[in-house]
Amino acid sequence: MDALWDFLQWPAMLTSLAAAWLVASQGKTKRKWGFWVFLLSNALWIAWGVHDGAFALIALQLGLAVLNIRGVVKNQREAGRVDAIP
What is the pTM assigned to this prediction? Answer: 0.87
Q: How many of the other CB atoms lie within 10 Å of CB of 62? A: 13
**pLDDT for the residue numbered 72:** 94
Contact of 22 with 58, CB cutoff 8 Å = no
Domains of the chain by residue range: 2-84
**pLDDT for the residue numbered 86:** 45
**pLDDT for the residue numbered 82:** 52
Q: How many of the other CB atoms lie within 10 Å of CB of 11? A: 13
pLDDT digits over 23-81, tens only?
Answer: 999 999 999 999 999 999 999 999 999 999 999 999 999 999 999 999 999 988 877 76
**pLDDT for the residue numbered 2:** 86
Average pLDDT over residues 17-27: 96
